[in-house]
Chains A and B, each alone.
Chain A
Amino acid sequence: GQNIDQPTEMTATEGAIVQINCTYQTSGFNGLFWYQQHAGEAPTFLSYNVLDGLEEKGRFSSFLSRSKGYSYLLLKELQMKDSASYLCAVRDSNYQLIWGAGTKLIIKP
């Protein structure tokens, strides 16, 4: 079967750095996406990785290791508005997105 694992919830302090991990087992791999979702709102696209390594985009970075079936999203200089759920999704061999359940990130002052 196909499986995406993320921690259910994480807590971090404003101004700090947090790393949200995602491991996956899918039938084929055609890229990994990270989305942010605020409560009651739709997911918004954050990043895309298809090759191994780190992709940096402002305060957010995403890393991929295809051999390990592993990715992480790194958030720096945390702000209160970063409190949200972060969804990891893998595009499988059929080019369909397989979604994790999301990691709820709580930012404390």
Chain B
Amino acid sequence: DTGVSQDPRHKITKRGQNVTFRCDPISEHNRLYWYRQTLGQGPEFLTYFQNEAQLEKSRLLSDRFSAERPKGSFSTLEIQRTEQGDSAMYLCASSTGTGDQETQYFGPGTRLLVL
């Protein structure tokens, strides 16, 4: 399978714990995006990378969230001191970053439940 993959697919944690999610983009894609989605809403942009550089981070994103893409390939999203409001689907998408029709392709998502 050469699509975007995410791990884990599901995560249940207790409030206050730290969690880390991984995303492996399509291999030739140099842009990688993280989104958060809650029920009945569209994806909410969190941050994105061009290769290993983090180019933009949502102003809505608290300091408890951090993302890395150390070698320009896979990326990790860490949430520290989780809160119940962090419960959501966390989506990763990748794209080539070139051309007008730059289409983002999504991974299956990681569903987080904070108890």
Interface set of A (CB-CB < 8 Å, partner B): 4, 8, 30-31, 33, 40-45, 48, 50, 87, 89, 91, 94-97, 99-102
**Are B108 and A48 interface neighbours, CB within 8 A?**
no
B32 to chain A, nearest CB (A): 14
Query: Do B91 and A31 touch (CB < 8 A)?
Result: no
> Does the CB pair A31–B42 fall under 8 Å?
no
- Structural contact, B40 and A101, CB atoms closer than 8 A: yes
Residues of B within 8 A of A8 (CB): 40
Q: List 29 A-B contacts (CB under 8 A).
A: A31-B100, A40-B111, A41-B108, A41-B109, A42-B91, A42-B106, A42-B107, A42-B108, A42-B109, A43-B43, A43-B91, A43-B106, A44-B106, A45-B103, A45-B104, A45-B105, A48-B101, A87-B42, A87-B43, A89-B42, A91-B102, A97-B45, A97-B104, A99-B42, A99-B44, A100-B42, A101-B41, A102-B40, A102-B41
CA distance A45 to B106 in the complex (A): 9
B side interface size, CB within 8 A: 19
Taking A42-B109, A102-B40 as contacts, is the C-beta distance between A48 and B103 under 8 angstroms?
A: yes
- Chain B, residues 93-115, CB within 8 Å of chain A (1/0): the string is 00000001111111111010000
